Amino acid sequence: MSIEIPREEYLFSGHTGCPGCGAVLAMRHVLKGLGDKTVVAIPACCWSIIAGAFPYATLNVPLMHCAFETGAATAAGIKAALEIRGDTETTVLAWAGDGGTFDIGLQALSGAAERNDDIIFICYDNEAYMNTGIQRSSATPWKTWTSTTPANTPKETPKKDIVATMMAHHIPYIATGSVAYPADLIAKVRKAKEIRGTKFIHILIPCPPGWRHPSELTIKIARLAVLSRVFPLYEIEDGNHRVTVEPDDTRVSEYLKLQGRFRHLDETDIEVIQANVDREWSRIECLSA
Amino acid sequence: MKKVITGNHAVSYGAMLARAQVIAAYPITPQTTIVEHLADFTADGQLDARFINVESEHSAMAASVGASAAGARAFTASSSHGLALMHEMLHVAAGSRLPIVMANVNRALGTNWNLWADQTDSLSQRDTGWLQFYCESNQEALDTVIQAYRVSEQVLVPSMICLDAFFISHTAEIVDIPDKALVDSYLPECNLVYRLDPANPCTLYGVTSAEFYYEFRYKLHKAMEDAIRVAREADDEFREMFGRSYGLVEQYRMEDAELVLVTSGTAASTSRLVIDELRERGERVGMLRIRMFRPFPAEEIRNALRGAQRVAVMDRNMSPGQGGIMAQELRSALCNTPDRPPVYGFVVGLGGRDITTDVVHRVIEEALATDIPEDIIWMGVKV
Ligand SMILES: Cc1ncc(C[n+]2csc(CCOP(=O)(O)OP(=O)(O)O)c2C)c(N)n1
Ligand code: SF4
Ligand SMILES: [Mg+2]
C-alpha cells in the first residue's frame, strides 16, 4: 500500500520514552492520521510518562491523563461534552496499554462498546505491564518470561483474544496495526475517524526493555510479527474481515529468537507456538475469504 | 410554582434548572429515581443533556470527569456502595479541579446489606477534596444543587449534595420550584478556562513531581477555604433572588443556650421539636445544624458555640474504632479554644434506625447528667 504520510507532526521531540520505543512511533503515526481536531485520553501506562511530566508536554493536541481503568469511560464523557457544546467534528481517542485494555480497562471498554459511544479506542499492546516493571498481563503470550512469570515458570495460559472480545460487541470497526507498516496504520486510523460508533484498533508494540531486544530491532521485530502471522494485519468492517498486509513464509522462530523474553523456549515450545499461529491464521484467512 | 414532590425529584429539578449538560449515572437504591426524572426532563425537552448510561459508578465518575474537563456542566448521583466504588475517581475529580456536582443519597454500607439512612458513605469520602452539603428538606436539596454549581464553578472544586435515604429521597413535601429564567440569572453559563479544546491544545493532569505536587495540594486547600466565603455569598444572593437561604450552619434557638445539640440532615427536624419543647419548659438548649461539612466551617462553629457549657453531637454515622465523625471534627475545631465545652459524641440512627423525639430527649438528658463524657456514647444498643 502507498499513501502519502502527512508531514504535520503532533508529537514534539523531547518525549521521555525509551530509545526504540514502539509506543512513541505508534502515537506519532496515529496522530498524523487523525490530525489536529483530536482529543486524547490516556489512562495510566508507559504513555503517562512518555507524554512528559508537568510542566512539559509532548503532544500538540489536547491530552487528558486519566485513571488506569477509565480510558473508554473518560473518552465517552469527553465526546458527550464536545457534542453538547456544539463540536461534532473532533475525534476523541482513548489510548491505552494492554493492561488498560485487556485487564483493568476491559469493563469500561465493554460498556462504551456496547453503547457504541463515538470514540476510537486504541490499544498499544506491548504484552505486559511495562510501566510498573514488566509484569504479566492477560495480553502476555503463552510461555513468555515477565517479572511475574519467571523463565522457569513462564506464563501458562494463552494471550486473551481481544479482537474476538470486541467482535462480540458488534462494533462497526476493528483493526490491527503495526509500527512496521505506517501507511497501513494511518489508512486504518483515517477510516476509523470517518465511522460513527466505537472503533477499536489493536497495535502490537515492540518494547526493547520489556521484550529484551536491542533498541534498533523494534521495526524489524514488528515486521517479523506480521510476516510470520504472529500478528496479522487485518480489519473488520461491520463484521467483514479483510487482510490488509499479506504475510509470507517467515517462521515464528525468526520472530521469537530476537527477543530475550523467549530465550528459555525449547524446540517443542516453538513447534506448539507455530502450530497455534498456523491455526489462527487459517481461521482469519477463512473469515476474510 | 409549588409542587408536592420527593427529595429525589427535587434534586432532579435542581439539576434540570442548573442546565446540567452531561449526565452519567448508574442505578442504586435509593438514588435511582433522581436520574430517571432527569431522563424524563430530557425526553420532554425541558433539559438539553447527553446521557451516558454507564456500566458502573466508577465509569459514571470517570465520564463526568471527562465531560467536565471538556467544558460541560456534569451531573451525577449515587449512594452507598456506588459512592464507595467511585472513591478513586472522587480524588481524581477534585485533584483535576473540576466543578462536577453529584447528589449522594446517604445510605448505609454493607455488609450487612442495608438500604436505609446512614451518613457513613459520604463522610468516609471527606478527604477526597469535595465540598459536602447535608440537606434537611426537599426544598433545600433542590436549592443546594443550584447553589453548588455556582460555588463549584467559582472555586473549581466539585460538590456533593447529601440527603438522607428515604427520609428525604422518597418523602414527598411541598417544594417551590424556582423560575428557570431566574435560575439562569443566578447561575451563569459554565465557562472553564482550562479545558480540552482542539483550538488551544493543552495537556491536563500529567505526572507531577514533588517539586510541584505540594503546591497543587496547597491550592486545592486554599480553594476549599475560599469556598466558605463563596458559599456564603452564593447563599446570600440566593436569598435576595429566591427568598430562601440556609447558611453554612444553621443556629436554632441558640441565644444563651447552655447545652447545644449539634446534628445534620433530617435529624435536625426532629431535634427542633424537642428544643421547642424544652425551651417552653425554660431549659436553655439550642441546636446547631451543620449544613456545609467540607470545607468545615470551623470558625463559624466556634463562634456559634461560644458560651455553650456542653455540646452534644448526634451522629448518624460512625468510624469504627473512633466514633461519630462529626463529633471528631467538632472536637478538633474546638481543641485550641480556651474554655472549650466538653463534646458528647452520640452515635444514633445507624442503618436507618429512627431518631425519634424520644431519642433526642434521651441524648440531651444524658449530656446534662454526665460531667465528663465518654469518647463515644451509644443509645439503646440491644446486646
Ligand atoms: C487502579 C490502579 N492500579 C494500578 C496502577 C499502577 N499501574 C500504573 S501503569 C500500570 C501498568 C500499565 O500497563 P499497560 O496498560 O500494559 O501499559 P504499559 O505500561 O505496558 O505501557 C499499573 C499496574 C494504577 N495506576 N492504578
Ligand atoms: S518500557 Fe517499553 S513501552 Fe515503555 S517507554 Fe520503554 S520501550 Fe516504550
Ligand atoms: Mg503493556
What ipTM was reported for this prediction? 0.97
Q: Calculate mean pLDDT across residues A185-207.
A: 98
Return the pLDDT at A3.
79
The answer, yes or no, to whether residue A289 has pLDDT greater than 90, is no
Render pLDDT for B21-58 as a digit per residue (tens, 0 to 9).
999 999 999 999 999 999 999 999 999 999 999 999 99
- What is the rounded average pLDDT of the residues A157-176? 98
Task: Give the residue from A85, A114, A121 with the most B CB atoms within 10 Å of its CB, the best one to mutate.
Answer: A85
- Give yes or no for residue A125 having a pLDDT over 90: yes
**How many interface pairs between A and B have CB atoms less than 8 angstroms apart?**
163
Instruction: Count helices and strands (H / E) in chain A.
Output: 10, 8
- Which residues, 6+ apart, have CB-to-CB distance to B353 below 8 Å? none
Domain interval for residue A104: 22-288
Of all residues in chain A, what percent carry a pLDDT higher than 70? 100
Does the residue A2 lie in any domain?
no
Residue A56 lies in a domain: yes
Q: Residue A186 Cα, ligand 1 centroid: separation in angstroms?
A: 26
Question: Which ligand has the minimum distance to the alpha carbon of residue A105?
Answer: 1
Mean pLDDT on A68-89: 98
Q: For B91, which residue in chain A has the nearest alpha carbon?
A: A67
Enumerate residues 47 to 106 of chain A having a beta carbon within 8 A of any beta carbon in chain B: 48-49, 51-67, 69-70, 72-78, 80-85, 87, 90
pLDDT > 90? residue A2: no
Tell me which residue of A38, A51, A22, A9 sits closest to A190, measured CA to CA: A38
How far apart are the C-alpha atoms of A175 and A147, rounded to whole Å? 30
The mean pLDDT of A221-235, rounded to a whole number, is: 98
What CATH number should be reported for the domain holding residue A101?
Answer: 3.40.50.970
Residues in chain B with pLDDT values less than 50:
none
Residues of chain B within CATH 3.40.50.970 domain(s) are 2-242
A222-239 average pLDDT score = 98
Quick one: which of B66, B7, B19, B12 has its CA closest to B37?
B12
CA A276 to chain centre: 21
| Mean pLDDT to the nearest integer, A172-195 | 98
Q: What is the CA radius of gyration of chain A?
A: 18
Task: Tell me yes or no: is domain B249-378 CATH 2.160.10.10.
Answer: no
CA atoms within 13 A on the CB side of B139: 16
> Above 70 in pLDDT, residue A1?
no
Q: Which residues of A touch B74 (CB under 8 A)?
A: 77, 81
Retrieve residue B206's grid coordinates.
Answer: 500529567
- Please report whether residue A9 resides in a domain: no
Query: In chain B, which residues fall in CATH 3.40.50.920?
Result: 249-378
Q: Do A84 and B53 touch (CB under 8 A)?
A: no
Q: Is the CA virtual torsion B173, B174, B180, B182 positive or negative?
A: negative
User: Sign of the CA dihedral B353, B357, B361, B367?
Assistant: positive
CATH among 3.40.50.970, 3.40.630.10, 3.70.10.10, 3.40.50.620 for B2-242: 3.40.50.970
DSSP string, B283-349: --EEEEEE-EEES--HHHHHHHHTT-SEEEEEES--BTTTB-HHHHHHHHHHTTSTTPPPEEEEE--
How many Cβ atoms sit within 10 Å of the Cβ of residue B81? 16
Q: What is the pLDDT of residue A118?
A: 98
Gap from A61 CA to chain B (nearest CA, Å) = 5
How high is the pLDDT of residue A4? 85
Ligand closest to CA A18: 2
Q: What is the mean pLDDT of residues A255-284?
A: 98
Residues of B in contact with A90 (CB under 8 A): 198
Each residue's pLDDT tens digit, B191-219: 999 999 999 999 999 999 999 999 999 99
Q: How many domains is chain A partitioned into structurally?
A: 1
pTM assigned to the model:
0.98
Question: Using only C-alpha atoms, what is the Rg of chain B?
Answer: 20
% of chain A with per-residue pLDDT over 90: 98
DSSP designation for B119: T
